[in-house]
Amino acid sequence: MNHQLWDSYRGKIKTKKGGWRIGKGVSSHGYDLLNDVVGHYSYMQVVILNATGRMPSRELADWVEAVYICLSWPDPRIWCNRIGALGGTVNASAISATCAGIMANDSRSYGARPMLEGVKLIQEAKKRITLGERLEDFVMSKIKESGGLPFLMGYARPVAKGDERVATVERVTKSLGFVEGGHLALAYKIEKFLHDSYGESMNINGYASGFLADQGFSPDEVYRMCTIVVSSGITACYADSADRKQGMFSPLKVRDVLYIGIRDRKLPL
């Protein structure tokens, strides 16, 4: 019987985050939320504080906000956005449709979850290369792991080659006064190798992973601060289709679906 540890939590909440003391105020990580934070810090600073336990500088929060904006395209062809738009067309609630889209970006191929792998990759690369492994060998080992395809997390992307958001965030990095750290410098070197060898380049995940690793964040912290990174674009797509006549987003005639299964048959007796 090893359940004693759970007995100390029964009927009791323990938290390192803070909370509401009724009649006394609300604390968050040692801050008085309503007096010390509201009006003094930006919302994105609080997002990062709540996700990581550390209050970032305003500049860093503005940088993360820029990434959020970069992932807020109101284009319903993007998978998570499409889910929002489909929610709108059936008149689901804005919250459920947006949450459904956010859940979709918990994906192995796009959105927030790849940030987890992206930060892990660049941290692993830095560690292994610092220990003496050649960059080319590291990259090739990762290509081998991904079945011979040059689709390392943070490099290449679906639908298009290149990523216009990288230049945008580079501009933001510069304007906010950040200098390039070791992880980001390595991310560029990996990109150069992949570009020279396969014509693939860094995507916004790769850039953000290198930058945020340089800021001392762990993979889990980055993932947690980016949980709703795509939400705004989803809500936009939801709103557009919800404001039209129902069923008008992506209507399909019966014949728009090709049946390739077994022929008509009768139930066994």
Stretch that binds another protein, among 1-9, 66-74, 117-125, 227-235 (CB under 8 A): 1-9
Q: Tell me how far CA of residue 130 lies from CA of 19, 126, 136, in angstroms.
A: 42, 6, 13
Of 144, 133, 145, 154, give the one whose Cα is nearest residue 200.
Answer: 154
Q: Which is nearer to another protein, 243 or 255 (CB)?
A: 255
> Which of 53, 74, 181, 182 touches another protein by CB under 8 A?
53
Q: Which is nearer to another protein, 36 or 239 (CB)?
A: 36
Using alpha carbons only, what angle is made at residue 64 by residues 59 and 68, rounded to the nearest 5 degrees?
Answer: 140
For residues 164 and 46, give the distance between their C-alpha atoms in angstroms, rounded to a whole number: 28
Map residues 167-186 to x or -, x wherever contact with another protein holds by CB under 8 A: x--x---------x----x-
**Identity of residue 53:** G
Contact positions with another protein (CB under 8 A) in 97-156: 99-100, 103
Q: How far is the CB of 40 from another protein (least distance, A)?
A: 12
Output Rg (C-alpha) for the chain, integer angstroms.
23
> Which of 64, 101, 163, 223 touches another protein by CB under 8 A?
163
Of 46, 38, 39, 37, give the one whose Cα is nearest residue 65.
Answer: 46
Q: Which is nearer to another protein, 127 or 158 (CB)?
A: 158
> Which of 34, 40, 57, 244 touches another protein by CB under 8 A?
57
Stretch that binds another protein, among 19-27, 123-131, 144-152, 220-228 (CB under 8 A): 19-27
How many Cα atoms are found within 13 Å in the side-chain-facing hemisphere of 47? 19
Beta bridge partners of 25: 21
Contact positions with another protein (CB under 8 A) in 182-221: 185, 188, 191, 195, 201-203, 207
Residue 93 binds another protein (CB under 8 A): yes
Q: Are 180 and 211 in contact (CB under 8 A)?
A: no
